[in-house]
Structure 1
Amino acid sequence: MVGQMQISWPSTIVELILGLLWHLVHLLVSLFDLWSHLSDNLECYLISSGLLPKYRDLHFERLNYVGVVVDSREANNVLKIKQLLRWLSTIGVKYVVLYDIEGVLKEWLKPGIKTPRDENSRTNLDLSAHGGMAIECLSGSDGKEGIAKAANLLCSDFCNRNTHGHNKLDNAFTEADMVCALREVGSGGPEPDLLLVYGPVRCHLGFPAWRLRFTEIMHMGSLKSMKYGSIVKALHRFSHKYQNYGK
């Protein structure tokens, strides 16, 4: 009995120490997360108030197109989407690509909006209410249909080459061939310079990968917690990033 007491006491003390260490680590992580959240909110408030000079003047020399990915479960929040578009227009963005995988955004943007067609985009929307900012709407079905049509076009071209006796070495598909095929079927479109992702996970949520070759992707958190200051901060971060592709 005494031997069992001697064995159990050390193990109990070790368990208590480990438990205290776990709670201490958990407390430190929680405090750090709370501090990060508060500091981020404070910075966004100061940016929105114009009290931080470095965020007052944004330069868009390299920012031609902005992509916005929204989780389909939050895409029904029409007021938030309109507010986001209004903020982007106020900042000076001229071309926006909106995307959600289920096509919710395309549905509610249809009524009362003219949809001019061109060789680069099938759903290029021009909203005069947002300062003439051009808006393109995409969904997961666009990506599937586009890649299927482009593949059929390439296969047809491949068959024609074989029929006319071309060299087999010329039948290899290149990236340029795929880009041309996507453009011919109306699924090419411009590549966003910056992609803002509103959703629960840090990924592009199915945005057409062939339009993200050189795109800077930034995760913005949930749409319902969207802030004007966070958008300005993201655009400011992008303007100071160095990209050496094509050099």
Structure 2
Amino acid sequence: MLKVDFVRLVVFLRWIESAILDIGDEMQKVLVRIGLVSIANVVSFANGMDGTIVARWGALESFLISSGFLKSYRDLDISKVQYLAVVIDSEEATHTTEVLHLLRWLQAIGIKKVCLYDTEGVLKKSKEALTLWLKSEKILKETTSDPLLEQNYMSLEVVSFSDGKHAVAKAANFLLEKHYSISGTEKPTLTESDMTNALGALGYGEPEPDLMLIYGPARCHLGFPPWRIRYAEMV
């Protein structure tokens, strides 16, 4: 299968975009149509012979959103989504290209903080590639004067089931040592706030997502750290 350098591909697409924007309004209307056809062909080629039509359109759509061609996305109200969690089935998480498309789309509509999660830690293995992509986007955006693109860069967190499991185990030991050492044989009464405080003291006090997008066989959090989704809406 053809190996694609996505950083160079993004740079090439941005070059096409800047060339179009440098032309006058009348010529721009004509060249936009030509440019979109060219972009569609490039994306189709990059996805390889085994890519699906949906995947190809997703790549093109995300580029059009971030470039400002799809004006309807400018009016999306995402002010209430301060932190977004994306739960992905581990089998689906192996499709790194699709995850990149999703991140690009989220960044294009203005999402600034994202937490990716899968049960088996597949996404953690792809974290380096995901981080490289975000860095390439940052460099490209620093060279543009388009108001749509002048936005805060996305911060990315990647977690798995083992992170939550280890956090709970450490918090339990922390509470055991703290309460039993001062209470002797008396059984202490522990509350949810005690666990929350223990997790925070151990460095696991990450922000709670406002919204959780689930890509999996069932509408559940698939083991996402439960203390972080007490008020999150699942979609």
What secondary structure is seen at the aligned counterpart in 1 of 2:119? coil
Aligned to 2:229: 212
Which aligned segments of 4 or more residues in structure 1 are displaced greater than 4 angstroms? 48-51, 111-114
* Partner in structure 1 of residue 219 of structure 2: 202
Select which of 88, 94, 100 maps to 1:76: 94
- Equivalent residues, number: 156
SS at 1:138 equivalent: strand
Identity of aligned residues (%): 45
Match among 194, 203, 207 for residue 190 of structure 1: 207
C-alpha contact (below 8 Å) 1:65/1:95 kept by paired residues: yes
Query: In the alignment, which of 84, 98, 102 is matched to residue 66 of structure 1?
Result: 84
Structure-1 residue corresponding to 2:113: 95
Structure 2 vs 1, CA of residues 83 and 113 (structure 1 numbering), >3 Å: closer, same or farther? Answer: closer
Which residue is equivalent to 1:233? none
Report how far residue 50 of structure 1 moved: 4.4
CA gap of 1:216–1:129, structure 2 versus 1, over 3 A, is farther
The alpha-carbon deviation at position 127 of structure 1 amounts to 3.5
Cα deviation, 1:123-178, whole Å, max 9, x if unaligned, reads xxx94334431111110100110100001101111122225x9xx58x31111111
The aligned counterpart of 2:28 is none
Name the SS of the counterpart of 1:69 in structure 2: strand
Q: Cα distance, 1:186 vs. partner?
A: 2.4
The Cα shift of 1:73 comes to 0.5
1:111 CA displacement: 6.1
Partner of 2:26: none
CA contact (8 A) 2:74 2:109 kept: no
**Does the alignment pair 1:129 with 2:150?**
no
CA distance, structure 2, for counterparts of residue 157 and residue 172 of structure 1: 12
Distance 2:168 2:205 in 1: 10
Q: Structure 2: which amino acid aligns with 1:160?
A: S
**Structure 1: 5+ residue runs without aligned partners?**
1-44, 115-125, 219-247
RMSD of aligned alpha carbons: 2.8
Q: Tell me: CA distance 1:112–1:62, structure 2 relative to 1, closer, same or farther (3 Å).
A: closer
Compute the displacement of 1:188 (Å).
2.5
Relative to structure 1, the CA distance from residue 162 to residue 187 in structure 2 (aligned partners, 3 Å threshold; closer, same or farther) is same
Q: Structure 2: which 5+ residue stretches go unaligned?
A: 1-60, 139-152
Structure 2 equivalent of residue 25 of structure 1: none
CA distance in 2, matches of 1:111, 1:87: 17
Corresponding letter in the other structure for 1:148:
A
Shift of 1:58: 1.7
Give the direction of change, closer, same or farther, for the CA distance of 1:112–1:74 in structure 2 (3 Å limit): closer
| Distance in 2 (alpha carbons) for counterparts of 1:217 and 1:65 | 13
Q: Is 2:157 aligned against 1:150?
A: no
Which residue is 1:138 aligned to?
159
CA distance in 2, matches of 1:111, 1:56: 28
Alpha-carbon shift at residue 97 of structure 1 (Å): 0.4
Structure 2 matches for 1:33-44, cutoff 5 A?
Answer: none
Larger Rg: 1
- Matches of 2:172 and 2:127 in 1, distance apart? 30
TM-score (norm. length: structure 2):
0.59
Aligned to 1:181: 198
Secondary structure, aligned partner of 2:75: coil
- Given that 1:67 and 1:194 are in contact with CA atoms closer than 8 Å, whether structure 2 keeps it comes out as yes
Once the two structures are TM-superposed, the CA of residue 182 in structure 1 deviates from its matched residue by: 1.0
Are 2:100 and 2:130, in contact at CA under 8 Å, matched by a contact in 1? no
